[in-house]
Structures are given as structure tokens and as C-alpha cells.
């Protein structure tokens, strides 16, 4: 863990602005995601972006793999409620097209974007209009010359690629960039980003576990890797990659930031694991409360406890909650009981009190 009497690594990075969102320099950590729609389907892509925005996404990435996608990208940028990052692989000309079409930033992969002549053309176009670049190094698409060095660990390869590409941009006088170096393993993710933070302390880092898997496995892997790094002060923006609805990536991202005390958008749910003393369907109640809390935008803490005797005491720090007994529940605020209701009235009663006491939610 970091010594919090000194500056955290993320407080020492330079700031990069993506649309209206600031990354780095101690700014609040933005949550990112990526559309999985066809970019040529403008209506579907914008609908997904709006849903991501509703769930708290700060920055969205959209793939631009073809000229047809680049043509649609213009309309997407113009109508998007979020800053849109163009995701570019292989064809450097599409990066330039995206920059001219209103991209808030472009992501390029050192492993497949081609020669430095092509990179220089992107740098010139981005610098001319003030569009930042995300250098996105990925373990699955490293430059062949680096990938084939068997004596190097995967972290060595990622760090080497990231530093060499970063050095090139800075030698060209371009400093408006964010760096990511991603791999599917948790230990490798942690090691790579620790080293990058030490060797490039001025560069803001976009962190996440790539190809992390489906909802449960991906959530666990990202929570561990990002939790460790963020607790050490490393990481200026995050994306939780999941084989799932992109909105779930955003929700998990916020849960990670909330759990570690960095940012909170929705309420925190405090609930007991149940035991033989529980005399209501506590698991069902907790699940329904969790679902309805997704619509509450006030960062309060809400407790759902199975014991009517100890519940308020165990969750004394919660803003509001319910402690359940046999077929009933006691609604409490700051540890003090305010009303008693039947089991089938618990959820509605709890949210009546939330709406009454926190009307802005």
C-alpha cells in the first residue's frame, strides 16, 4: 500500500483531456467501456452509448475497422452524450479519418499499427486539432520482434513495447497521451502496471484485465487486479473487460471504485450472509433491494440484515436499512428504528423512506 502522507502515483501523472473528461493528475478516475454493436449501425451504437451513459460511463470506445465504419463514426460522435474514442488497428488512415470526424481520442495498438512513418502521420493529425492518443499495448498482439524474445516474461515484453512507443511520441514532441498495457492474467497485470508506474511516472495509465472472461470470472479477475493497483495509487482510468453487456462493465467498475473509497455513484448495499436464525427470504429481499438501488443516484449506504435484535447494531454505520425478524422487518435510520412492517411490505417501505429522506435520488 502507498504511504498516503506522500503523493500517490496517480497524483503525479500529467493530465490528458478526453472531451470534457480529465484523466490523470489526481482527477477522479473515469470509468470506460466499449460498444459491441456494429459501428455501421448508427442507431444501435448510439442507443448503447446512451445506456452506458445512464449507467455512469464516462468515456466510450467504438471500433473503426473499415471506411464504412469511419463514415458512420461521424454521426456517432456528433450525437453521442459521451466522449467517443476511436479504436484503430492495422490501418493508420482510419485513425486520421476518425480524428477529422470528431473523435475525442484515438486508441492505436503498437503491435499492429505499422511503421513509425504511419504513427507519425497520426501524431501530426492528432496534434493539429488537439486530440489525445491512447497507446494500447496488448499481450495478444505484440510486435513480432518483441513477441519472439523467449527470454523475456510477458510483463517484460509489455513494458518494453510501451516504453519504446512512449519514447517515440515524446521525441516527436507529443505528450497528450494515455498508456495501457493489458494481459489476461492478474499477476501479470499487476506487475506490468507497477513497473510502468515506476518507469513512466508522468504518464497516465489506463488499467484493466483484458480477455478476463464472462461476468463472474471477469469480475473477480478485474476486482483483484484493479483493486491492488488502485490501492497502491496506480491507475488513472479503468475499463472492466467482460464477455457481457457493456453496461455490466460500467456497473462493476463503479463497484470497484466505490469499494475502495475512490468514487461512488450508487448506494452501497450492506447485507448479512444469512444463517439459521433468519426467518424471512433475506436473499430474495436483498436481491430486489440491490436491483432497485441501481436507480438511486445518491451515494448512501443501505443495510439488509437478517436479525431483528442485532441488525441495527451490526449495520450502525449505514444511513438506512432493515433488520428482519419472523415475517417482519424493522426499518432503521442511523441505527434507530423508525417503523415496523410485514415481510411483504419491507421493500416498498424501505424505498418510501429513502425517497422521503433523500428526495434528490
Q: Where are the domains of the chain?
A: 9-259, 268-357
Secondary structure (3-state) at 309 = coil
Of the listed ranges 68-72, 86-90, 148-152, the one predicted with least confidence = 148-152
CATH architecture of 268-357: 2-Layer Sandwich (3.30)
CATH architecture of 9-259: Alpha-Beta Barrel (3.20)
Instruction: In whole angstroms, give the CA distance from residue 72 to residue 62.
Output: 11
- Main-chain dihedrals φ then ψ at residue 317, nearest 5 degrees: -80, -10
Average pLDDT over residues 154-161: 94
Residue 147's pLDDT is 84
195 pLDDT more than 80 = yes
Residue 143's pLDDT is 81
Closest of 205, 223, 203 to residue 213, by C-alpha: 223
Q: Is 220 left (phi over 0), alpha (psi -120 to 50) or beta?
A: alpha
Res. 315 pLDDT band, cuts 50 70 90: confident
Burial zone of 123 (CB within 10 Å; 0-12 exposed, 13-18 middle, 19+ buried) = buried
Per-residue pLDDT of 330-360, as tens digits, reads 999 988 889 999 999 999 999 999 999 998 6
Cell triple for residue 24? 490523470
How many other C-beta atoms lie within 10 A of the C-beta of residue 117? 8
Instruction: In whole angstroms, give the CA distance from residue 179 to residue 185.
Output: 18
- Main-chain dihedrals φ then ψ at residue 206, nearest 5 degrees: -95, 120
Q: Is the dihedral of CA 333, 334, 340, 343 positive or negative?
A: positive
Instruction: In whole angstroms, give the CA distance from residue 315 to residue 230.
Output: 26
Q: How far apart are the first and last CA of the chain?
A: 34
Burial zone of 197 (CB within 10 Å; 0-12 exposed, 13-18 middle, 19+ buried) = buried
The predicted model scores a pTM of 0.91
How many other C-beta atoms lie within 10 A of the C-beta of residue 140? 12
Q: Is the dihedral of CA 22, 25, 30, 32 positive or negative?
A: positive
Amino acid at each position: 500500500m502507498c504511504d498516503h502522507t506522500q503523493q500517490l502515483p496517480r497524483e503525479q501523472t500529467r493530465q490528458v483531456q478526453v472531451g470534457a473528461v480529465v484523466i490523470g493528475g489526481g482527477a477522479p478516475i473515469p470509468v470506460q467501456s466499449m460498444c459491441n454493436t456494429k459501428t455501421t449501425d448508427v442507431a444501435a451504437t448510439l442507443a448503447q452509448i446512451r445506456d452506458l451513459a445512464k449507467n455512469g460511463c464516462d468515456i466510450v470506445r467504438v471500433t473503426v475497422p473499415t471506411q464504412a465504419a469511419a463514415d458512420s463514426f461521424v454521426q456517432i460522435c456528433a450525437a453521442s452524450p459521451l466522449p467517443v474514442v476511436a479504436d484503430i488497428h492495422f490501418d493508420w488512415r482510419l485513425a486520421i479519418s476518425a480524428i477529422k470526424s470528431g473523435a475525442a481520442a484515438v486508441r492505436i495498438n503498437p503491435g499492429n499499427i505499422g511503421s513509425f512513418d504511419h504513427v507519425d502521420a497520426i501524431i501530426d493529425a492528432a496534434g493539429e486539432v488537439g486530440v489525445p492518443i491512447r497507446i494500447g499495448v496488448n499481450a495478444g498482439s505484440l510486435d513480432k520482434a518483441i513477441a519472439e524474445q523467449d527470454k523475456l516474461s510477458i510483463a517484460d515484453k509489455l513494458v518494453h513495447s510501451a516504453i519504446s512507443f512512449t519514447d517515440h511520441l515524446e521525441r516527436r514532441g507529443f505528450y497528450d497521451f494515455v498508456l495501457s498495457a493489458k494481459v489476461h492474467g492478474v499477476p501479470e497485470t499487476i506487475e506490468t502496471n507497477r513497473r510502468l508506474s515506476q518507469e513512466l511516472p508522468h504518464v497516465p495509465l489506463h488499467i484493466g484485465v483484458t480477455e478476463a472472461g464472462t461476468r463472474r470470472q471477469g469480475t473477480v479477475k478485474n476486482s483483484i487486479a484493479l483493486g491492488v493497483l488502485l490501492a497502491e495509487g496506480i491507475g488513472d482510468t479503468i475499463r472492466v473487460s467482460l464477455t457481457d453487456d457493456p453496461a455490466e462493465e460500467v456497473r462493476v467498475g463503479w463497484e470497484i471504485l466505490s469499494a475502495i473509497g475512490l468514487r461512488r455513484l450508487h448506494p452501497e448495499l450492506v447485507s448479512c450472509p444469512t444463517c439459521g436464525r433468519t426467518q424471512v427470504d433475506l436473499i430474495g429481499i436483498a436481491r430486489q433491494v440491490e436491483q432497485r438501488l441501481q436507480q438511486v443516484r445518491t451515494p448512501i449506504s443501505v443495510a439488509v440484515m437478517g436479525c431483528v435484535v442485532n441488525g441495527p447494531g451490526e449495520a450502525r454505520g449505514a444511513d438506512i436499512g432493515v433488520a428482519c425478524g419472523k415475517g417482519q422487518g424493522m426499518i432503521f435510520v442511523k441505527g434507530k428504528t423508525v417503523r415496523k412492517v410485514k415481510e411483504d411490505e419491507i421493500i416498498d417501505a424501505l424505498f418510501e423512506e429513502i425517497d422521503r429522506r433523500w428526495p434528490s435520488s
